[in-house]
């Protein structure tokens, strides 16, 4: 139970941190809220709209994403790598 609470706390602090660094796109906010609230996710391939949003995120915040991949916390590295891989078509 403690792990679940710690996870929620980390996600909430990550959302707050992102809000301070860059304006979050609405879909990003909903994506992370879904994780925080343990909403089920589609286990199939990513839909086209989601892929386009990740491409847009990578284009707009490429420097931040690359920095997080190199120098971020473990969570930030995974998060930024996922965005980059989807945006570049490595994950479909």
Tens digit of pLDDT for each residue in 32-42? 777 777 666 55
The overall pTM is greater than 0.75: no
Tens digit of pLDDT for each residue in 3-55? 878 888 888 888 777 766 665 566 677 777 777 776 665 545 677 888 888 89
37 shares a domain with 7 = yes
d(CA 64, CA 66): 6
Domain count, the chain: 2
84 shares a domain with 55 = yes
15 lies in which domain range? 1-41
55 shares a domain with 31 = no
**Are the CB atoms for 30 and 15 separated by under 8 Å?**
no
């Amino acid at each position: 139970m403690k792990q679940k609470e710690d996870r929620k706390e980390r996600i909430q602090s990550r959302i707050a941190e992102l809000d301070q660094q860059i304006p979050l796109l609405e879909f990003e906010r909903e994506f992370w809220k879904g994780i925080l609230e343990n909403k089920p996710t589609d286990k199939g391939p990513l839909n086209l709209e989601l892929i386009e949003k990740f491409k847009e995120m990578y284009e707009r915040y490429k420097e931040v994403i690359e920095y997080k991949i190199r120098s971020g916390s473990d969570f930030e590295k995974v998060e930024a790598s996922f965005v980059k891989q989807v945006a570049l078509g490595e994950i479909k």
